[in-house]
Structure 1
Amino acid sequence: MSQPADSPAAADPRPDGRPGLGAELAQNLDEAAARRPRSRNVGALRRLVPFARRRGGDALGALIFLLTATAATLGLSGAVRLLVDALTQPGVSSSQVNLWFALIGAVAVTLALSSALRYFFVTKLGERVVADLRKAVYGHILTLDPGFFLRTRTGEVLSRLTTDIQIVESLMATSVSVALRNLLTLIGALILLVWVSPSLTGLVLLIFPFVLAPLFLFGRKVRRLTISTQDQFASAVGQAGETLDALETVQAFGGEAAAAGGFGAAVEQAFSTSLKRMTARAIMTALVIALVFGGVVAIFWLGVHAGLRGEMSWGALFQFAFLAVMAAGSVGALGETWGDVQKAAGAMDRIAELLDARPGIAPPATPTALPSPARGEIAFTGVTFAYPGRPDLPALSDFSLTIAPGERVALVGPSGAGKSTVLRLLLRFYDPIEGTIRLDGADLRQADPRAVRERMALVAQDSPLFSGSAAQNIAFGRPEAGPEDILAAARAAQAEAFIAALPEGFDTALGDRARSLSGGQRQRLAIARALVRQAPILLLDEATSALDAENERLVQIALDEAMTGRTTLVIAHRLATVLKADRIVVMDQGRVVEQGRHAELAARGGLYAKLAALQFGQAA
């Protein structure tokens, strides 16, 4: 893949001598394309068959009217033959001519109705299949574990979910209808051509290998270039998504030109590859049409001479010409749609990669039921874990910790000690390499991840909210929660007052990621979402670290309410937020190094005492 010479990103190397953003992106794309396995045919489209089977009624209707429309189309050739033979007979009457024209009219009406119904059922089936595919892909994406998104950017996933599925939709909604109609017409026309004149039909069949050759030769190239184009475009979308997510940072550092240059270079690369695809498809179409219609003209010339010699009737000659043009037109149309098929096959190949991705964390065949009622007891025993991609850098090493039901435990320690990893393993986003994690005595590996997570509520440092209303964001914690439950959770989270002050109260739309709210308001809304869940275990990951003193005070009041009667695991760098914990667990390099209450740990003179002294001074 060549980098455009005038690309800003290609022209401006980095100060350290490394290539510009666009050139580096191009290199990454080349490496990704080289790693991707490619099939050499349109077999990826077979993945659509199960979706079509679920819509048997529409498929049956499409088949019936495809057959009737094809039969009516071919029937026109027979009606034309009867009319021409009648006109060339001496003494033909006007009533006979009217009869044959009436027959042609009846066939035309049948063709019109059948074509309309064929279009309706085929298009409906295609749209329905794509809608089901879109739901299946998105539903499957939601089951993938965080490890998948460490390897694949969210923007690329969204590109496959939107752009690639739109390509498949174009095939299913339009091209399939045209292709099936022309395929059936071609088959029917060939059968009738053999019946009308076997010798001339043999000449027609001799042309076919020359017509099919460019379809396969150029079709394979079109498909390969289509996949490459979509890969490049997906990477560009992924890069754009990352930039827009951090737009304030980009603008603060004056990175608009570099970001725009990198995106522009990726788009230009995609366009350059797409231009090659369009050129290959144009050449393929020109060759197919030239070969088909050139052959038809030559065969028709032979047919006219056969008619002049009296070897076939003029009606038969007209029917043969009619059918030959029909067959040629069908082959030409199939050549056109073959490019769409190749393009859709490339897109489906990328979609299939998502469907084939399997979560590293999945429920066992026969999951162990968690004890009921839930107690909230947690036990880590000899747990060792390293993140995918960093196998030589364990986040936890021989980590053991037991938390009693209803106990408030705070995890403290320097950055990188493994505190957040404890929460991720407890939520079963990952499984430990060694050791066991038990919830109420049940091994998490043997339990359904959904059942495990239903017993937990998470409040993170920057808890993401959604663009719906305040009530919808709170109810996300428990969709079946009623208005009274939502109000009670908001009140307990110290959020009722500011929500009531919104223009439409709890029904106010909060905008993208609820950015219309302050940081403290968003955090209290996240706490309300955790409270309405009514889970026995509460996980707090730096829930107050980014707040000012007043907001921290309000959030801390809400957290005290939330922790009542629940097993609570708190992560905090600011030690003032963990002073009320029943137990403080000090971590360093993935291990527990100290445990106890604040006073005894501060007096012990260990790592906790050093951390406390940094924040509180010698008074700690």
Structure 2
Amino acid sequence: MSAPSSTRPARRSPFGRPPKADEGPRARFGELIPYLFEHKRILWFIIGLSILGSAASLAQPLLVSQVIGIVEQGKSLGGLVWALIALVVVSGVISGYQHYLLQRTGEGVVLSSRRKLVARMLHLPISEFDTRRTGDLVSRVSSDTTLLRAVLTQGLVEAVGGTITFVGALIAMLIIDPVLLGLTVLVIAVSVVTVVALSGKIRVASQRAQARVGDLAASVERAISSVRTVRASNATDREIATVDNDATGAWRMGIQVAKVSALVVPVAGIAMQVSFLVVLGVGGFRVASGAITIASLVAFILFLFMMIMPLGQAFGAISATNQALGALGRIQEIINLPREDDADAAIAATVAAPGIRSTSAPAIEFDSVVFSYPAAAVETPSETDQDAAARVDPDSAPLTASDPATPADKRRPGDPVLRGVSFTAARGKRTALVGPSGAGKSTILGLIERFYDPESGAIRFGGVDIRTMPRTELRSQIGYVEQDAPVLAGSIRDNLLLSTPDATDEDCIRVLHAVNLTDVLDRNPLGLDAPVGEEGIMLSGGERQRLAIARALLSAPPILLLDESTSSLDGVNEQKMRLAIDAVAEDRTLIVIAHRLSTVVDSDTIVVLDQGRVIGSGTHSELVASVPLYKELAKHQLLV
């Protein structure tokens, strides 16, 4: 488990370098087989074409030999020339169709791997996104999966047909002249040993290159997503230098792959040339001595070419497969990670058996909950800005002017964020969580949503331990508005229908009206289809927050979690938002986090937290009289 209760990966300050991507384990060839077997029918058909193409190719030297023999005897060629032309045409047609099928199947392998990767990626525990970077994950989907295509298109399946051609040519050459064949095999054996020795280096170099491409993608994503902050801080040149450094790293690793590949590629050519010279020299001598005929030598040379070509395909297949296995290792690293819900059964086995939710029990109950974010979530020690601390722990966000100093800013990684927290949120009532930054308020909402599970203690929903409930069932009962009010790229409608895809236009307009957001519809003729831009950049901060609240209201859940839901609103819209929340609060349980106490003074219960502990609970007037910290907060905000 890690820190922020957000599905987006942690972003670091634009003024420091992110940690490098882990290269991950290298995949085995056996892990590649399932991707190929998904297309086994068409692969068998392609292999059948390869066999036919190989047969057509092997027949050509035999016909050429017969043509030379007939010409030497001064006889008529008859239909041999036309038969030879037909074989060449058939071989070409088969080769072209086979190439198309291989390309098509290769795209199918890429599509399949991307589907699996994205499906697993979006089901990963939130903690995985806390410690991984967006750009690197995107690189695995876009770049790494593309390399799997090369397994098919650069010779793996063609190597099957090539093997038949190789073996057939080998047998024919053995029949024609075993001596020439022995010399040829000796040259080829040296080249094969060389390629096998280099193949492992190709896999390692390719994997490192893909990891550096992931670093580059992460740097570009970070720079673009923070471009306004970068410009405002006059840090553009520094960001360019950072991205350039990662681009250079990717280039260097690419050069390493090119160097190793450059040693493999000429091997087939050198083997071809040396074999040809040996056969031509020794073969000429044997023709002169009468050991073989000219027709047999020509046929032997043609078979030699046919044997060397599949060998080149095999070398290409080895190189492409090793590059693909390097990329597949990064893909499998994500696919092999446990899904968020995989741990449910194991966790449920450690707690009491699930009961029946009670209508008389509190909607939400915390019972001696202890929780801490692991040290693994922390980034490099040089990053000391408050934003970095907020990413490791969302409750250690920068203090507002009204917050007194808090030791939470000095919390060490792995220290408990919640220390035996106990409180109840009554059904149909409004419960407010207040306290200094770093007190543990946002962490509480993240635990209710089961982004994380507590180390000890229990959280109950209607009297039932939430660890015994499927996450989907639990989250269907809860509406959650995060502190940073995320808005997805797309239209207003896309954002509203995220959790309620069957809602009508009338429902969407109703909730927009409830949060005073109908002016956004009025200023764009597209209405609900108006784009909001990347991360809602075409909306103001207050509009983004209200749109996120409208999205939660549309699903009409029995429990609403609002984390600083009015922090970006002006006074007028804050009052309208409070009225809207009051309207939807009927028969609903609200748990609200607020730094501005004016927005929660009328809550049924206010829970005061400090340094991960509950230090008071009650109404506003009760807490002013009994809890010094709350009184101090209220005094700073002129509420007493």
TM-score class, shorter-chain normalisation, is 0.7 to 0.9
2:4 maps to: none
Higher mean alpha-carbon deviation, 582-591 vs 304-313, is at 304-313
Distance 2:610 2:510 in 1: 39
Shift in Å, 1:221: 2.2
Name the amino acid aligned to 1:587: L
1:6 maps to: none
Name the amino acid aligned to 2:455: I
Q: List aligned pairs for 1:544-555, cutoff 5 A.
A: 544-555=566-577
1:139 maps to: 119
Q: List aligned pairs for 1:332-351, cutoff 5 A.
A: 332-351=312-331
Name the amino acid aligned to 2:443: T
Q: Is this contact kept in 1: 2:268–2:308, CA < 8 A?
A: no
SS at match of 1:479: coil
Shift in Å, 1:132: 0.9
2:469 maps to: 447
Which of these residues, 35, 39, 46, is aligned with residue 55 of structure 1?
39
| Residues 153-194 of structure 1 deviation map (CA, whole Å, 9 limit, x = unaligned) | 111111122122222234444554554554443333324333
Whether 2:92 is the aligned partner of 1:92: answer: no
Q: Is this contact kept in 1: 2:166–2:310, CA < 8 A?
A: yes
1:380 maps to: 366
Cα 1:475/1:392, change in 2 over 3 Å: closer
2:194 maps to: 214
Which of these residues, 427, 430, 443, is aligned with residue 405 of structure 1?
427
Whether 2:420 is the aligned partner of 1:437: answer: no
| Residues 485-525 of structure 1 deviation map (CA, whole Å, 9 limit, x = unaligned) | 32333233332343243221111222212211122222221
Distance 2:354 2:60 in 1: 68
Distance 2:191 2:595 in 1: 72
Name the amino acid aligned to 1:54: E
Distance 1:221 1:613 in 2: 68
Shift in Å, 1:433: 0.8
Q: Is this contact kept in 2: 1:361–1:431, CA < 8 A?
A: no
Which of these residues, 207, 232, 239, is aligned with residue 219 of structure 2?
239
Whether 2:278 is the aligned partner of 1:298: answer: yes
Cα 1:565/1:504, change in 2 over 3 Å: same
Distance 1:126 1:304 in 2: 45
1:5 maps to: none
Name the amino acid aligned to 1:327: M
SS at match of 2:617: strand
Q: Is this contact kept in 2: 1:124–1:173, CA < 8 A?
A: no
2:333 maps to: 353
1:420 maps to: 442
1:604 maps to: 626
Which of these residues, 107, 111, 114, is aligned with residue 87 of structure 2?
107
1:487 maps to: 509
Higher mean alpha-carbon deviation, 190-199 vs 245-254, is at 190-199
Which segments of 5 or more consecutive residues in structure 1 lack a partner in the other structure? 1-19
1:193 maps to: 173
Shift in Å, 1:91: 4.2
Which of these residues, 277, 283, 290, is aligned with residue 257 of structure 2?
277
Q: List aligned pairs for 1:147-158, cutoff 5 A.
A: 147-158=127-138
1:527 maps to: 549
Name the amino acid aligned to 1:411: L
Q: Is this contact kept in 1: 2:515–2:577, CA < 8 A?
A: yes
Name the amino acid aligned to 1:113: V
Whether 2:66 is the aligned partner of 1:82: answer: yes
Whether 2:294 is the aligned partner of 1:314: answer: yes
Shift in Å, 1:309: 3.2
| Residues 395-416 of structure 1 deviation map (CA, whole Å, 9 limit, x = unaligned) | 1111122223222111111111
Shift in Å, 1:220: 2.3
Higher mean alpha-carbon deviation, 419-428 vs 172-181, is at 172-181
Distance 2:310 2:269 in 1: 10
| Residues 424-447 of structure 1 deviation map (CA, whole Å, 9 limit, x = unaligned) | 111111111111222223322222
Shift in Å, 1:457: 1.1
Which of these residues, 264, 270, 273, is aligned with residue 244 of structure 2?
264
Q: Is this contact kept in 2: 1:363–1:446, CA < 8 A?
A: no
Q: Is this contact kept in 1: 2:616–2:627, CA < 8 A?
A: no
SS at match of 1:436: strand
SS at match of 1:517: coil
Q: Is this contact kept in 1: 2:50–2:158, CA < 8 A?
A: no
Q: Is this contact kept in 2: 1:232–1:269, CA < 8 A?
A: yes
1:205 maps to: 185
Name the amino acid aligned to 1:84: I
How high is the sequence identity, in percent, across the aligned residues?
Answer: 30
| Residues 523-551 of structure 1 deviation map (CA, whole Å, 9 limit, x = unaligned) | 22111211122222111011111222223
Name the amino acid aligned to 1:522: R
Distance 1:578 1:192 in 2: 90
Choose between structure 1 and 2 for higher RCO, CA contacts under 8 A separated by at least 6 residues: 2
Cα 1:458/1:202, change in 2 over 3 Å: same
Which of these residues, 535, 543, 567, is aligned with residue 513 of structure 1?
535
Cα 1:38/1:146, change in 2 over 3 Å: closer
Cα 1:281/1:21, change in 2 over 3 Å: farther
TM-score (norm 2): 0.85
Higher mean alpha-carbon deviation, 296-305 vs 321-330, is at 296-305
SS at match of 2:637: helix
Whether 2:46 is the aligned partner of 1:66: answer: no
Q: Is this contact kept in 2: 1:361–1:429, CA < 8 A?
A: no
SS at match of 2:614: strand
Cα 1:247/1:391, change in 2 over 3 Å: closer
SS at match of 1:395: strand
Cα 1:48/1:224, change in 2 over 3 Å: closer
Name the amino acid aligned to 2:636: L
SS at match of 1:461: coil
SS at match of 1:144: coil
Cα 1:193/1:438, change in 2 over 3 Å: farther
Distance 1:279 1:92 in 2: 54
Q: Is this contact kept in 2: 1:412–1:587, CA < 8 A?
A: yes
Shift in Å, 1:361: 5.5
Cα 1:51/1:488, change in 2 over 3 Å: farther
Name the amino acid aligned to 2:521: I
SS at match of 1:401: strand
Shift in Å, 1:117: 2.5
Q: Is this contact kept in 1: 2:358–2:462, CA < 8 A?
A: no
TM-score (norm 1): 0.88
Q: Is this contact kept in 1: 2:106–2:148, CA < 8 A?
A: no
Q: List aligned pairs for 1:174-189, cutoff 5 A.
A: 174-176=154-156, 179-189=159-169
